[in-house]
Chain A
Amino acid sequence: MRNNFSKYLVRKAEKDNNIFIVVADISPAGKMEDFQKKFKDRFINVGVSEQSMIGLCSGLAASGKKPFAYTIATFSLYRPFEMVRDDLCYQNLPVTVVGMGAGTVYSTLGGTHLTQEDISIARSIPNMQVLVPCDPLELEKCIDYCIQNKKGPVYLRIGKSGEAIFTDKSKEKFIFGKLRNISKGSDVCIVCSGPIIKLAFELKKRFKNLSIYSAHTLKPFDYKQINKLENKYKKIITIEDHSEIGGLASIFRENIINKKKLFNFSLKDKFIHNYGDQNNLLRLHGISVQKIERVLNERN
């Protein structure tokens, strides 16, 4: 996703000289190097100073520029939190804060590099919009939105590398603020936010009737759709690489009428002290294809 992010932003920056990228000590590897080479004045590396990264972006946006603040999620949102809240949200300036490698992506780096509660935090700040694309193609749509967005700040939560493409065959287009059906089915639907949608597609191989949705916009949320899904499907399953508090599971729990229909797969409200691959971390918090399969096999 991060390569696609840079590649696509280079394309957009060629046509729009207001696009700036402000990074905090992220090596300009791969496509990011292209941006730096082509638009030297619009690529700013602030180094290990995330508070300044956000403050600087607010000053750029207040002067009519379209800045993207970019670093690993925990450092783009947690470290400079007050700057995000005061400089971006309180002043309501259109800056995109990119949280790269969010959730449990950096599975071997330990809890200081994991973002289990970023969506919850970002959603709770007034004026903040929250976007969580499920694959590199949906990310491009999110970037398009961020570039034309004049409403206020955006938290754009993305993965890192190797994410598969799922939305290429989707009949429904990306519309900001709407739940998006990616794969049609009946009986049971799975709603996912982010690249964890891959679990749903793995299940789809065996459960052909699964309907799969991408909840790419977590704020503002498409609340009306929750009750429509409730009426249409026997079961609703949510999957997210995020805490059970304040993310996709919370949104559904707070708004669904028939709670018996709802099954949530989220990270527990506990810090992670484990290592290994991302699947290992997710599994230890009860998120796995096998666990979800059990819900699908249950009769009711």
Chain B
Amino acid sequence: MTFKLQYFLKNSLKRRYKYRKRLLDLSQKVTALHIGGSFSCLEILDVIYNYFINKKYKDKFILSKGHSAIMQYIILEDHKIIKKKDLNNYCQNTGSIGVHPEIFTPGIEASTGSLGHGLAIGAGMALAKSHKNQTIYVVISDGELMEGSVWESVLLISSLKINNIVLIIDNNDLQSATKASDTHPTLYPIDKKFSSFGWDVSKANGHNQNEILNKILNRDKKKPFALVAKTIKGYPISFMKNVPYWHYRAPDNNEYKLAIKELKKLKR
């Protein structure tokens, strides 16, 4: 294990506690927020921002599932790219940061929110190749795979041999109200679809950062790479896990206290 990896993993628990706590704190100021999907992709975003992104190589990250942008803002705040006072104003009348990411916000590379856009934008950035070692990281949701535009890009990226793209699918199996595996059972298996389109594909437990990291590090760099990260919506809060209700909701004060209590236990 490299020193960088050791350092990353050593601080990961503390960092993720801080990020989730910040989101819960912010949740008390707004009527609703996409808490379930934001929690499901935190381990992934943390790996991308705090391990992979290399500014020297002009690496970029696009959150195609834009509704989880609050998690992105929280990490950018931790990196001192977004100001604390701006994030405190999240979704407020006087604020400039809302639910979905905007290219005009520091640290944000693309305005997403409408699903099925991020992968093609990432493909363009990858083609522009601002640095010879540049990698473009894109995170999409599994529900987003129902958008036809995603498959246009999946086919196109491998056909154009754009190999500096790492796509991570936040596979929490829940859309806003239903399970993807119930409404669209033929969406599965996801990995075989990507490999048949010429991508290198791996699967990982989306909450196990060691696994995510190793799968990305050991990818075939001669192909575009997709990681199907199996996640749990609402993770790790017991009463939020896999409950569709938590797709778009802010916890009330009692739920907030319970969630913080659970997070504190996990931190130990």
- Kindly provide the distance from the CB of B126 to the nearest chain A CB, expressed in whole angstroms: 7
Contacts A47-B156, A55-B153 given; indicate if A62 touches B120 (C-beta within 8 A). no
Contact, CB under 8 Å: A56 / B117: no
The residue in chain A whose Cβ has the minimal distance to the Cβ of B136 is: A59
In the complex, which residues of chain B have a beta carbon less than 8 angstroms from the beta carbon of A135?
none
In the complex, A61→B124 CA distance in Å?
A: 8
In the complex, A64→B153 CA distance in Å?
A: 21
In the complex, which residues of chain B have a beta carbon less than 8 angstroms from the beta carbon of A61?
124
In the complex, which residues of chain B have a beta carbon less than 8 angstroms from the beta carbon of A55?
117, 119-121, 123-124, 149, 153
In the complex, A59→B109 CA distance in Å?
A: 9
In the complex, which residues of chain B have a beta carbon less than 8 angstroms from the beta carbon of A67?
124
Interface residues on A, range: 20 to 34
In the complex, A8→B152 CA distance in Å?
A: 30
- Kindly provide the distance from the CB of B132 to the nearest chain A CB, expressed in whole angstroms: 14
Is the CB of A167 closer than 8 A to any CB of chain B? no
In the complex, which residues of chain B have a beta carbon less than 8 angstroms from the beta carbon of A65?
128
Contact, CB under 8 Å: B123 / A91: no
- From the candidates B110, B127, B152, name the one contacting A51 in the complex (CB within 8 A): B152
In the complex, A51→B111 CA distance in Å?
A: 16
The residue in chain A whose Cβ has the minimal distance to the Cβ of B58 is: A63
Contact, CB under 8 Å: A59 / B153: no
In the complex, A86→B110 CA distance in Å?
A: 10
By DSSP majority rule, is chain B's interface helix, strand, loop, or mixed? helix
In the complex, which residues of chain B have a beta carbon less than 8 angstroms from the beta carbon of A49?
152-153, 155-156
The residue in chain B whose Cβ has the minimal distance to the Cβ of A59 is: B124
- Kindly provide the distance from the CB of A283 to the nearest chain B CB, expressed in whole angstroms: 39
Is the CB of A3 closer than 8 A to any CB of chain B? no
- Kindly provide the distance from the CB of B103 to the nearest chain A CB, expressed in whole angstroms: 5
Is the CB of B237 closer than 8 A to any CB of chain A? no
By DSSP majority rule, is chain A's interface helix, strand, loop, or mixed? helix
In the complex, which residues of chain B have a beta carbon less than 8 angstroms from the beta carbon of A239?
none
In the complex, which residues of chain A have a beta carbon less than 8 angstroms from the beta carbon of B123?
52, 55-56, 59
Contact, CB under 8 Å: A86 / B117: yes
- Kindly provide the distance from the CB of B95 to the nearest chain A CB, expressed in whole angstroms: 18
- From the candidates A44, A63, A86, name the one contacting B111 in the complex (CB within 8 A): A86
In the complex, A58→B128 CA distance in Å?
A: 11
Contacts A54-B120, A90-B111 given; indicate if A62 touches B103 (C-beta within 8 A). yes
- Kindly provide the distance from the CB of A87 to the nearest chain B CB, expressed in whole angstroms: 6
In the complex, A235→B119 CA distance in Å?
A: 52
Mark each residue of chain A from 187 to 201: 1 if its CB lies under 8 Å from any CB of chain B, else 0. 000000000000000
Q: List 25 A-B contacts (CB under 8 A).
A: A44-B127, A47-B156, A47-B159, A51-B116, A51-B148, A52-B153, A55-B117, A55-B120, A55-B124, A55-B149, A57-B124, A59-B123, A59-B127, A59-B128, A60-B128, A62-B109, A62-B110, A63-B130, A64-B130, A86-B117, A87-B111, A87-B117, A87-B120, A90-B111, A91-B111
Please give the residue numbers on chain B whose beta carbons come within 8 Å of chain A beta carbons, in ascending order.
103, 109-111, 113-114, 116-117, 119-128, 130, 148-149, 152-153, 155-156, 159-160
Q: A44-B127, A56-B120, A59-B127 are known; give 9 further A-B pairs, CB within 8 A.
A: A44-B160, A47-B156, A52-B120, A55-B117, A56-B127, A59-B124, A63-B130, A67-B124, A86-B113
